[in-house]
Amino acid sequence: MSHLNKGKILYVEDNPDNRNLIRRVLNAEGYTIVEAPRADLAIEKLESEHVDLILMDINMPDMDGYTLTAKIKGIEKFSKIPIVAVTANVMRGDREKSLEAGCDGYIQKPIDIDTLAQQIERFIIRSTNG
């Protein structure tokens, strides 16, 4: 297990099994995970925690990830936080729809846990260098 603190990630995901898996994988890689099972809680967490990146599930029952992404990007103090869409949507145009909503990247479900940490690291490095 890594003891480096690579950053703090807000994971917005309504499925507890997905949250548990991603938390375990990314904790082992040195990331701190803050979880939000609903859109309203995501905004609350952003108000109380400094995060380096947001992993955004697109298909949630209360508010879809596209709408929540646009809402977060519309709040000045959160607008620079990179948001990565996490979705099982594989329809033509879904990646583009994520980017149009304000997402900085896109990870397709099922998530490849062997490469997830490297993907996250690239998004964080890109945001700090950009």
Question: In angstroms, rounded to a whole number, what is the distance separating the alpha carbons of residues 90 and 7?
Answer: 29
CA distance linking residue 94 with residue 78, whole number of Å = 23
What integer pLDDT is reported at residue 93 of this predicted model?
A: 76
* CATH architecture for the domain at 7-129: 3-Layer(aba) Sandwich (3.40)
88: Cα separation from own chain's centroid: 14
| Global confidence as pTM | 0.90
Q: Per 3-state DSSP, what percentage of the chain is helix, strand, and coil (rounded to 5)? A: 45, 20, 35
List pLDDT tens digits, range 23-73: 999 999 999 999 999 999 999 999 999 999 999 999 998 899 999 999 999
What value does the mean pLDDT of the chain take?
Answer: 90
Instruction: Encode pLDDT of 20-32 as tens digits.
Output: 999 999 999 999 9
Phi-psi sector, 110: left (phi>0), alpha (psi -120 to 50), beta = beta
Please check the confidence at residue 1 and state whether its pLDDT lies above 50. no
